[in-house]
Chain A
Amino acid sequence: MAATSFTAAKFLAPVAARSGGERAPPLPAGASSSSFARAMRRGGAHHPRLRTALAVSSDVLAGNKAQAAAANPAVTREEALELYEDMVLGRVFEDMCAQMYYRGKMFGFVHLYNGQEAVSTGFIKYLNQADCVVSTYRDHVHALSKGVPARSVMAELFGKATGCCRGQGGSMHMFSAPHNLLGGFAFIGEGIPVATGAAFAAKYRHEVLKQSGPDGLDVTVAFFGDGTCNNGQFFECLNMAQLWKLPIIFVVENNLWAIGMSHLRATSDPEIFKKGPAFGMPGVHVDGMDVLKVREVAKEAIDRARRGEGPTLVECETYRFRGHSLADPDELRKPGKDYFPVSFYFFASLVKFLVLTRLSGEMENGIKASLAKFVAMLKMASNIVLMKTDEKSHYAARDPITALKKYIIEENLATESELKSIEKKIEDVVEEAVEFADASPHPPRSQLLENVFADPKGFGIGPDGKYRCEDPKFTQGTAQV
């Protein structure tokens, strides 16, 4: 439907003008010099991203080693294995959720995170215990990354009394006070102000109560989707977070779909990261299918926030492999919809090749070299063709877990068998979580009326049941107030 009203020609011209002043510095040597190829390499080949400036920012990634790091980030073996394990946990857990749902053990609304693991792992694994995470209804993996045990999450999903919220919250309302996981919200956009409030509390504790940790301010990370970025509360909080310089990172998990509403059909300007600078904060776009790139951006943003320099808006381009929820038939993300004719890209790549080879004089380097280059371009074009005809398989080819595995093996950080043993360990953990949840009891009947209030009698009635104002000693300040 959108294809008829939306063409690249209409889009490219204004974008080129806008991106003029925001060009990201070029990739280090080894990368192709063509801007088209650069765009392809970053994988942001969805048609709005045919231009070059992907990372808009004021200071965050401004022409420094972070750019090189993004292309080739350095991680230690331990870090890499930690990231790998966390992502595998997220994936295996969510797959198990799907199984359990179809067996009737889980019910209601369940929203799975398959495909987006790099975002959760990339950000949350860099946080401390005292840092806060606020999420949406797609929150199982955020809970796992933040440290909530898999058995607690699984038991919560089964509605058992041993769940992290004793079965009272469910899939969409994961809370864990010890891990500073502040929910789990069903309403779109509801978590953003709550996260901003948690960041406000961190700053308040530091400045007014004079309590602060050794590292600096406690940071809050708010995760939400592309659809949320059209919600009023999002903009209200971008304003207030920047106004009061709160230690928060707004992470947009742009998976291009809000149930069945494509991001492009819902948003006048689909480049969400550019909405940050409109409020005075840096807006960064990152490939959300690459955990190492996400981690680099996360490091910058989190360190910035800890130092008190204020909020950052990070847009992660990612994708969910499954439907919106387990009840979603996922019919709108069929291949072939909304995409350009295949021939356009073929000709575009051919024309670019011819023009660029002519301009750069590469013809002189020999037919063999230029042929090799042409073949490389054809490959890229065919990637686009494939992507254009099937968004799902395009992103499946960029599976973050497979990509990290490949990286680990290529960089000799671990062997294949070590990774396999991690996978096996995680499978055992998830199996055990299911067994634990199965064996756990349902909540007792008395739990229905519990916890509506923290103090049902209210403050004015003391612990002995008497009114505090009738305690004869209260005016002397010795009453228990």
Chain B
Amino acid sequence: MLGAARRQLGSGPMLGQVLRRLRPAAVAEATRGYSAAAKEMTVRDALNSALDEEMSADPSVFLMGEEVGEYQGAYKISKGLLDKYGPDRVLDTPITEAGFTGIGVGAAYQGLRPIVEFMTFNFSMQAIDHIINSAAKSNYMSAGQISVPIVFRGPNGAAAGVGAQHSQCYAAWYAHVPGLKVLTPYSAEDARGLLKAAIRDPDPVIFLENELLYGESFPVSAEVLDSSFCLPIGKAKIEREGKDVTITAFSKMVGYALQAAEILSKEGISAEVINLRSIRPLDRAAINASVRKTNRLVTVEEGFPQHGVGAEICMSVVEESFEYLDAPVERIAGADVPMPYAANLERMAVPQVSSFSSILYFLLALAHIV
């Protein structure tokens, strides 16, 4: 019944028209709670600066991938690094995902700290044998003799109009595997802190960025800009405090969740938004603590619904905080179809702000009736 409601309300006329007129950036800024935020930084600059600082701090860190050197990065994330560190440390590879990913893993076996860039994580499927079998499982198979301090990074999830083979979200795939750490930064602070932690981490880390977030600016404090700054892996961030419903999200969906929370607050509903930051290990403690406070949960992700991140979060809450739930956990995910190309279909295939608020509104209405 809820599903039917979602389909109807997802295109609810009044609310939808209201929402589409709002400017995302303004709403986003208003909902953030940084103090003394002096500077703004794009996610792209955040990643670039993190790479730069880590490469200068540790000479065993090197970057390899397609177009990372002379092209300055397919999305200009590695701009300037080739000039600064030379071709020995910023390697342009041939189009050989399986080969160069394996080379990165072998180099990590021998104590170097490679950062392997995938032009998009869709291409990582050609190298997934190495990510899982020779990177993730090696520390276990060798009983701790061989650790693999490698970072696999690149854009993940849907961009704009890039079609089915370039738009899949891999968070659930990689989070399924023991031996990998999976990180999903949202803001510039997340990007800097998590990438630095990932590079210094002695284990294989999957760092899922988002192409559409690269150009977005976020305020950063002075601590964030420090070269020793890093964020803890496995800890989520409460982006917005609330008391009526918990919304968990990661990557780009955090921005949407914050917008939705803003709209809901005008309706008198106070939503708590959790930026997961880390899909594996999942910050179950933070999620459960939040659900115990608000008693309702909506999980949001861009990827396919079946066996997705939301399913795991729901199960975690059912296992640990079942008595605290006042309503069933609601899952908002992308459509269960390969990503279509047509712009209007693509919009329908990923969660949109309008669908969020409509569901939340409906859920809460339902809860009041019951």
Contacts and interface: CB of A to CB of B under 8 A. Distances in A.
Q: Do A and B come from one complex?
A: yes
Interface of A: 132, 134, 165-169, 173, 175-177, 182-187, 190, 192-202, 204-205, 207-209, 232-233, 236-237, 239-240, 243, 450-455, 457-461, 467-469, 474-475, 477, 479, 481
Contact of A460 (B59, B130, B203, B235): B235
Contacts of B139: 451-454
Nearest to B201: A459
A168 B147 CA distance: 14
A193 B98 contact: yes
B91 to A, nearest CB: 8
Given A165-B143, A166-B143, A469-B193, A474 B226 contact: yes
Instruction: Kindly name the residue among A185, A195, A199, A236 whose own CB sees the greatest number of chain B CB atoms within 10 A.
Output: A236
Contacts of A457: 232-234
Contact of A190 (B93, B100, B129): B129
Nearest to A443: B143
B102 A481 contact: no
B96 A236 contact: yes
Given A190-B133, A208-B59, A454 B144 contact: yes
Contacts of B101: 193
B229 interface: yes
Given A193-B102, A458-B197, A475 B226 contact: yes
Given A198-B107, A236-B99, A468-B232, 20 more contacts: A165-B145, A166-B143, A169-B143, A177-B146, A183-B146, A190-B129, A193-B99, A194-B102, A194-B130, A195-B106, A197-B110, A199-B106, A201-B106, A201-B109, A201-B111, A454-B139, A454-B147, A455-B202, A458-B181, A458-B232
B228 interface: yes
B267 interface: no
Nearest to B137: A173
B102 A192 contact: yes
Contacts of B215: none
Nearest to B103: A197
A369 B96 CA distance: 60
A127 B35 CA distance: 60
A202 B110 contact: yes
B11 interface: no
A204 B61 CA distance: 11
A200 B103 CA distance: 7
Contacts of A166: 143
A187 to B, nearest CB: 6
Contacts of A204: 60, 62, 88, 107, 112
B105 interface: yes
Nearest to A184: B141
B344 interface: no
A202 B111 CA distance: 10
Interface of B: 59-60, 62, 88-89, 93-94, 96, 98-112, 129-130, 133-134, 138-147, 149, 178-179, 181, 193-194, 197-198, 200-203, 222-223, 226-235, 281
Contacts of B106: 134, 182, 193-201
A236 B106 CA distance: 15
B96 A240 contact: yes
Contact of B234 (A185, A458, A477): A458
A453 B179 contact: yes
Nearest to B93: A240
Contacts of B178: 452
B94 A243 contact: yes
A215 B129 CA distance: 35
Given A197-B104, A200-B106, A176 B133 contact: no
A349 B59 CA distance: 64
Instruction: Kindly name the residue among B110, B129, B130 whose own CB sees the greatest number of chain A CB atoms within 10 A.
Output: B110
B203 A453 contact: yes
25 contacts: A165-B141, A175-B142, A177-B142, A183-B134, A183-B138, A186-B133, A190-B102, A196-B103, A196-B106, A198-B106, A198-B110, A207-B88, A208-B59, A237-B102, A240-B100, A243-B94, A451-B139, A453-B179, A453-B202, A459-B201, A460-B235, A468-B230, A469-B231, A474-B229, A481-B200
A310 B233 CA distance: 40
B140 A168 contact: yes
